[in-house]
Amino acid sequence: MDNDNIDKEYFVSIDAGANDRMAEHMEFLARFSEDAAYNLLDEMMERVRSLAKMPHRNPYYNRPYLPLNKYRYLIFGKRYRIVYQIDGDCVYVDDIQDSRQSDDKSILK
């Protein structure tokens, strides 16, 4: 694991595609329970904000179609995955995935 300065604050940016993906997950869930959809959004935003501190704490997200060690991921809501990269003082959230779906649905290609 890289050594993060515990006090260092990173700027976190959510890609428009990742934002759209989260909206799709929420819309699907809201068909069954609006409360569950809002809870998912709250937890997702809490986890995204947590990336401002020590984003290197999470494991690499390596897939055959991605550059080695470019992305990291954070699991939330038992089955959702925030996929992000770190560039200097910035964290870029590039995808939000339902881990039950195949990699074919990834927007990271």
- Kindly report the pTM of this predicted structure: 0.85
**Domain presence at residue 52:** yes
Determine the structural domain holding residue 76 and report its residue range: 11-100
More confident residue, 73 or 101: 73
Query: How many domains is the chain built from?
Result: 1
**Domain presence at residue 109:** no
The domain spanning residue 23 has which CATH number? 3.30.2310.20
Q: For residue range 15-60, list pLDDT tens digits in order.
A: 998 989 888 888 988 999 999 999 989 999 999 999 999 999 999 9
**Domain presence at residue 15:** yes
Identify the burial level of 80 via C-beta atoms within 10 angstroms of its C-beta, where 0-12 means exposed, 13-18 middle and 19 or more buried.
buried
Contacts 24+ apart (CB under 8 A), 20-29: 21/95, 21/96, 21/97, 21/107, 22/96, 25/80, 25/96, 25/98
